Amino acid sequence: MNFMDDFRDPALRVNDDKKIQIGLGALKKAGTSIFLLVKETDISGKPVKESDFDRAWFRLSNEETNQTLDYAMVNKIEKSEEYQPSFPAEDEDAPPIMNPLTYLHGRLFLD
């Protein structure tokens, strides 16, 4: 597995563009599971506009063919009604505690 955060030509680079490569052919043990999770970055206190992440997405693709196997637009994923982005700290003077949001996008299972 490889993690890359500077893999595009600078002219084509997208802000916060990251890639994880998983060599599925190297997985041999039956029962192996890989969970595909995407965690939102905490942007509180940073200068961003509400519309900055309107086109944020993640995708699963075949690196050899560049074929998209699945993708999701982050703003189209329903959040639980109970989700709260932050909650008060025990100490009244402390800043609120951030509640990071993690999406379970899928699971790969070797049978």
Please give the pLDDT value at position 67.
Answer: 92
The DSSP output letter for 44 is T
**Residue 36 belongs to a domain:** yes
- d(CA 52, CA 55) in angstroms, rounded, equals 8
pLDDT tens for 7-47 read: 666 665 566 677 888 888 888 889 999 888 887 776 666 77
Residue 48 banded pLDDT, cuts 50, 70, 90: low
**Residue 47 belongs to a domain:** no
**Residue 85 belongs to a domain:** no
**Number of domain units in the chain:** 1
DSSP notation for 8-22:
S-TTT--TT--EEE-
* Whether pTM exceeds 0.85: no
**Residue 87 belongs to a domain:** no
**Residue 38 belongs to a domain:** yes
**Residue 65 belongs to a domain:** yes
Please give the pLDDT value at position 15.
Answer: 61
Domain around 32 = 2-42+52-78+92-109
The DSSP output letter for 40 is P
